[in-house]
A = this chain, B = another copy of it.
């Protein structure tokens, strides 16, 4: 393998990052950076989050972007990062990935993060909004609303937010709030009213955090009515997840009823279950965003290969799921390109795929599928 059969396409093809977040604009000290490079949060006593697959990948692949040698020690990395400053680091890192467009989920703790427009400017790329369903519901709850009006007002506010931002998709974090073992039927008006009444009665004491199954269902059905692609957090995530409850096949009966694109994000360790759904249901799409950079470049090859096992090439996408620090954008793009390249070069070397087919598949997975599903300008 290697030079003889390698195609450059995976390393040069433009990417559409169909799910990411903003990047922190403040200066970050070591604890601040460490907390953002692990789904587990700050390191424990006597440990450092750099002693992880992603930590070693940062030292290997991001240090050179700071003019340091690969594998630079953590202290040197942090010192040089501070010296350059967040704005310059963000610019260097974001502009290195050849990402043409970012689809930015603006719903997760956006204070202190770049807006989609600021992210695009730092990266020299395009950006689009993705509206988080729970954020719309929570803003509505905090603004004051009658329970019996909740469903109608939510749908209207969602449509308004989409229109105002030009959003190209919506996002559900039902996985975090209730898990995915949800009744697949549209909730009745009395169900929604009762659930909203319970939540709203708790007032600010609830933290305005929506976590009722009937409200999750209401928000998912409202998204279907809107017709935009719906992203679902699946699998790997932080400590709010109960992993056994976020197997995407728990959504099967819900998915069967719809034609709207369903975008399964992250997915590991349920990525084969996600691949199965994408094989069977034409509206289901899969990525392994965030997982690839957390497992690091070498395991990314294996995880990506598994996620593609029975997934039609028309339903496999790229996302970084990067959040907060620009290292994650660099590694998201890099690990995806390495994993895609490994698949392509293996298939070409084994004469399983022709080179033109391999290049066509690369373009589909890297950007064309996202452009088609989200109806992006090309």
Contacts and interface: CB of A to CB of B under 8 A. Distances in A.
Interface of A: 38-40, 43-44, 46-47, 49, 51-53, 56-57, 60, 70-71, 236, 238-239, 241-244, 247, 249-250, 252-253, 256, 268-269, 272-273, 276, 279-283, 294-299, 302-303, 305-306, 308-310, 312-314, 346-347, 350-354, 357, 361, 364, 372
Nearest to A46: B372
A282 B40 contact: yes
B244 A250 contact: yes
Contacts of A283: 44
A372 to B, nearest CB: 8
A351 B47 CA distance: 24
A351 B64 CA distance: 13
B238 A280 contact: yes
B298 A303 contact: no
A352 B276 contact: no
A53 B309 contact: yes
B272 A272 contact: no
A251 B57 CA distance: 30
A331 to B, nearest CB: 12
Given A40-B279, A236-B276, A279-B294, A247 B244 contact: yes
B239 A249 contact: no
A10 B53 CA distance: 18
Nearest to A250: B244
B60 A353 contact: yes
| CB-based closest 3 A-B pairs | A44-B282, A269-B272, A243-B249
A49 B314 CA distance: 9
Contact of A47 (B47, B52, B70, B312): B312
A296 B269 CA distance: 21
A51 B236 contact: no
B280 A269 contact: no
Contacts of A350: 297-298
Given A39-B280, A269-B276, A353-B71, A53 B297 contact: no
A250 to B, nearest CB: 6
A90 to B, nearest CB: 25
A283 B40 CA distance: 11
A242 B253 contact: yes
A180 to B, nearest CB: 10
A63 to B, nearest CB: 11
B244 A249 contact: yes
Contacts of A309: 53, 268, 294-295, 299, 303
B295 A56 contact: no
A68 to B, nearest CB: 13
B250 A296 contact: no
A352 B297 CA distance: 8
Contacts of A249: 242-244
A269 B278 CA distance: 14
A294 B308 CA distance: 11
A71 B354 contact: yes
B272 A268 contact: yes
A289 to B, nearest CB: 14
B236 A346 contact: no
